[in-house]
Structure 1
Amino acid sequence: MKRATLAAALIAAGAVLAVGGFYAGRSTPPAAAIPQAAERKPLYWHDPMVPGPRFDKPGKSPFMDMQLVPVYADAAGEGGVKVSPTIQQNLGVRTAVVKKAEVSASFDAVGTVQFDERLSVAVQSRVAGYVERLAVRAPMEQVRKGQALATVFAPEWLGPQNELLALQRAGVAPDLIAATRERLRAMSIPESLIRQSEEAGTAQARFTLSAPSGGVVAELGVREGVAVSPGMTLFRIAGLEKVWAVAEVPEAQAIRLVRGQKVRAVLQADASQAFSGELKEILPQVSASTRTLQARFEVDNRSGRLMPGMLLRLQIAGATTSRLVVPAEAVIRTGTRAVAIVRKQGGAFEPRELKLGAELGEQVEVLEGLSEGDEVVASGQFLIDSEARLKSVLGAMQAAPAASGGAQ
């Protein structure tokens, strides 16, 4: 009896469930008829790393090796790539602020000391004769102004001097004696030699060549006993009061040079010895192998401590200007353009194409593309680029299953 009652109860429960399921199926619409959330329609597609250009259909970015990313109406105002703070910390992203800095156009160069050719003087013979004695016997000897260099015997000067002495003894008119004196001067007979002849009463054929200025005997063209002729250079004296420091300056720095720029020259072998100088000439020739120009600086050497061949470190002074700068590590150079990744106020990152100026060591001048106060990524730029590519790929992967599910 109990078993029959239990069976009847189970049959009644099954019937109730069947009827309930039937009515539930009648009242619930089929899955295809269930209204889904409104499908998001992209406004356009773009490359997150180059957000400026917009495209009307998906595809591969013409700028980066990644797929274009759709931009929807609710995110149309957002530009660039958003990276969560946690990921930024994991990627080691570090930023720097774009600022103006007082930059000096000064730079250093190495110069070689040379003789100042404008101070060189030549000592020549004005008459045919013989060198009887040399007071300076070797090149590169230092001489002072008025120092005796050589004694020359000039027999050709005996006749004109004897004529002058004879006229003086004859008591001729002063005008005739004055004319004779002028003829002796025209023959380049030194005035001191004429006075000696008049005082001694006999013609003098030996005279002493003296140094017209102080310096170094850079060229010695005679020896004792040799014959000399008019116009022959016997000595060439290079002055040492001022010297040239000739430096090889790269083209990029040569444009900053201006005649008259002051320079501080420090002896390479002894930094405690410094000299003042001035830029005198930029030689109009560029070396094809080194792409440098030669700049000629005039350096004060009244102390006489600088000698040709010495090396000087030239500290070339320039004007100080205010320039917009960023760390050099924040600039991505692609070969054809320069890009920096900027952090926006909403936390997103976007690239900016830059126009760069001068290289300033660890910083670089920015002419266009950034403003003072902008925050740029100084490290982790390529990881942000990878994050943008990863998001693009994941977005495409999520869109693919949705599209395949909708097609069923």
Structure 2
Amino acid sequence: MKSTHFASLALIAAAAVAVGSFYAGRQTAQRPAEPAAASDARKVLYWHDPMVPGQRFDKPGKSPFMDMQLVPVYADSDANMSGVNISAAVQQNLGIRYATVRRVDVVASFEAVGSVQFDDRLSTAVQTRVAGYVEHLAVRAPMERVRKGQALATIFAPDWLGPQNEWLALKRAGVSPELVTAARDRMRALSIPPELVRQSEEAGTAQARFTLSAPMSGVVAELGVREGVAVTPGMTLFRIAGLEKVWAVAEVPEAQALRLARGQKVRAVLQADAAQHFNGALAEILPEVSTSTRTLKARFEVDNRNGQLVPGMLLRLQVAGPMASRLVVPSEAVIRTGKRAVVIVRGETGAFEPREVSLGVDSEDDVEILQGLSEGEQVVASGQFLIDSEASLRSVLGGMGTSAPAQPPASVASAPAAIGVVHTGRGKVEDLAPDSITISHGPIASLKWPPMTMGFSRTVPQAFADIQVGDTVEFAFKEGGAMGYELLSVQKQPAGSKP
């Protein structure tokens, strides 16, 4: 009996131990493990919808935009850092290329198109200082080329006969040398050419015909007489323009003109034949700004000793400025938004962040960076727009690095600041399509809509997968999408609810 009693006690004790171990195991299983406790200890900064990263909420819940739960963002998470992290695999798929901000020595040069004109400083007027007649005209058309010393016209001047005859008579009479000299000075005062006086002395008779010669080589830019016409003192018979140098007049933008200085070298290339080039320098910037084009006229002096350039020709002027050291990046790395310029910078940790920069002048495939970047930094040269799409950088670019305060998730009405004007309604689901949901809804007060049945676009095909035809729903939507309005949220209502 006693052994049987002890055996019963042993069985009861073993059962008690087993039951205790079972409950202890359950309690242990129900207690969170150390790593989970550590995870719970992480500080949550805010909750957000990954599909709408610009909106922040101060407590968990269902997203008012998509049919999904809000995701927490922790204090030690990379999402809290300035910039966006993208995995190496995604970067490779996007074909992202990088460029280094570098310092180069560049010449502040630019190109302009100039029109060839005569250099007015090389222009000479050919006149007669006596009344007479044009007996013979050697050059009969304007724009003819002439050489220095070439005969232009023969003039008959009867007024010069008297002074010459008086001088010759005094010489024959053997009067005092003072009287002969005075007569000669009188002829000089009347502008009788010395060559004509010499001919009169050799022939012994007064000469009234003399030849006008070209004082320089060039082009007859102006022909003021014809054969047989009378001429008067001071009348311009010919105007000859030199061709050793010509002007190339170009219209230069106002901003570029401020960098120009007299004497700057220029390389001129003939527009019609790029193989022909000429050297020149900036002669003058005309002090007048065109109010319609905001340009100034710059006058470049171009060497034309071979006479190949004539007025009206076009020259491509390559103006070289002073050498300067500048920070540059590839032009393709800059996102130009109209009012500002932004580049995507790759930080030391690999995160991408937008940065606003100030741009200078373009130089071939590079652009000068005046402010916003430092030498040696890496920027995204190709794929920055894909990064914007992949990582939803629109919200980051919108704030340009500023951290927005957490916003309460009170209702969908708190979202318009981030996604536009949001409207809400209540209705019944009439039809489902992969890209749309047809809802028979009541009045929409914010749009002043009466009750109607219409289709709304889905943001993604799998959105609102739990909604069925016939469900009574409360929904939020905004303008956009393929059907004009797209759904942001669709909440199924309890059975029996009125649409």
Shorter chain as denominator, the TM-score bin is 0.7 to 0.9
Higher relative contact order (CA 8 A, sep 6+): 1
Give identity over the alignment, percent.
69
Question: Is 1:177–2:172 an aligned residue pair?
Answer: no
For each residue in 1:247-273, what CA deviation from the matched residue of structure 2 results, as whole angstroms up to 9, or x when unmatched?
233334333432112222233333333
State the 1:354 CA deviation: 1.0
- Tell me which residue corresponds to 1:226: 229
Q: Find the aligned partners of 1:119 and 1:344 in 2 and give their Cα distance.
A: 62
When normalised by structure 2's length, the TM-score is 0.64
Alignment partner of 1:338 out of 341, 356, 365 = 341
Question: How many corresponding residue pairs?
Answer: 365
Q: How far has the Cα of 1:44 moved from its partner?
A: 8.6
Corresponding residue of 2:125: 122
Distance across 2 between alignment mates of 1:360 and 1:283: 27
Please provide the CA RMSD for this pair.
Answer: 3.9
Query: How far apart, in 2, do the equivalents of 1:181 and 1:280 lie?
Result: 45
Indicate the SS of the match to 1:166: helix
Match of 1:157, SS state, is helix
Instruction: Please say if residues 136 and 228 of structure 2, whose CA atoms lie closer than 8 Å, have aligned partners that are also in contact.
Output: yes
Describe the shift of the 1:388–1:39 C-alpha distance in structure 2 as closer, same or farther (beyond 3 A): farther
Alignment partner of 1:151 is 2:171: no
Q: What is aligned with 1:111?
A: 114
TM-superposition CA deviations, 1:202-251 (whole Å, max 9, x none): 22111111111111111111111111111111111111111122223333
Question: Aligned match of 1:139 in 103, 122, 142?
Answer: 142
Show structure 2 runs of 5+ residues with no match.
1-14, 51-55, 60-69, 397-405, 411-499
Partner of 2:244: 241
1:242 and 1:325 map into 2 onto residues whose CA distance is: 38
Aligned to 2:424: none
- SS at the partner of 1:377? strand
Specify the SS of the correspondent of 1:159. helix
1:191 is aligned to 194
The Cα shift of 1:183 comes to 1.9
TM-score norm. by structure 1 comes to 0.77
> Is the 8 Å Cα contact of residues 96 and 378 (structure 1) preserved in structure 2?
yes
Farther off after superposition, 363-372 or 80-89: 80-89
Of 322, 330, 338, which aligns to 2:325? Answer: 322
CA contact (8 A) 1:123 1:234 kept: yes
Paired with 2:101 and 2:393, the residues of 1 have a C-alpha distance of: 29
1:305 positional shift: 2.1
Name whichever of 172-181 and 286-295 sits farther off.
286-295
Does the 8 Å contact 2:78/2:85 carry over to 1? no
- Alpha carbons 1:58, 1:70 under 8 Å: kept: no
Cα drift, residue 70 of structure 1? 5.7
Q: What one-letter code is carried by the residue in structure 2 that aligns with 1:183?
A: R
Aligned residue type for 2:117: Q
Q: Give the corresponding residue for 1:82.
A: 85
- SS of residue in 1 equivalent to 2:389: helix
Indicate how the Cα distance of structure 1 residues 308 and 33 shifts in structure 2: closer, same or farther if over 3 A, else same.
closer
SS at match of 1:326: strand
Are the equivalent residues in 1 in contact too, given 2:73–2:79 (CA < 8 A)?
A: no
1:359 is aligned to 2:353: no
Q: Which amino acid aligns with 1:308?
A: P
Q: State how 1:238-317 maps to structure 2 within 5 Å.
A: 238-317=241-320
Structure 2 Cα separation of the partners of residues 260 and 90 of structure 1: 53
Contact between 2:268 and 2:318, CA under 8 Å: does it hold in 1?
A: yes
Secondary structure of the equivalent of 1:281? Answer: strand
Q: Tell me the SS of whatever aligns to 1:345.
A: coil
Q: Which moved more, 1:140-149 or 1:381-390?
A: 381-390
Match of 1:93 among 96, 108, 117: 96
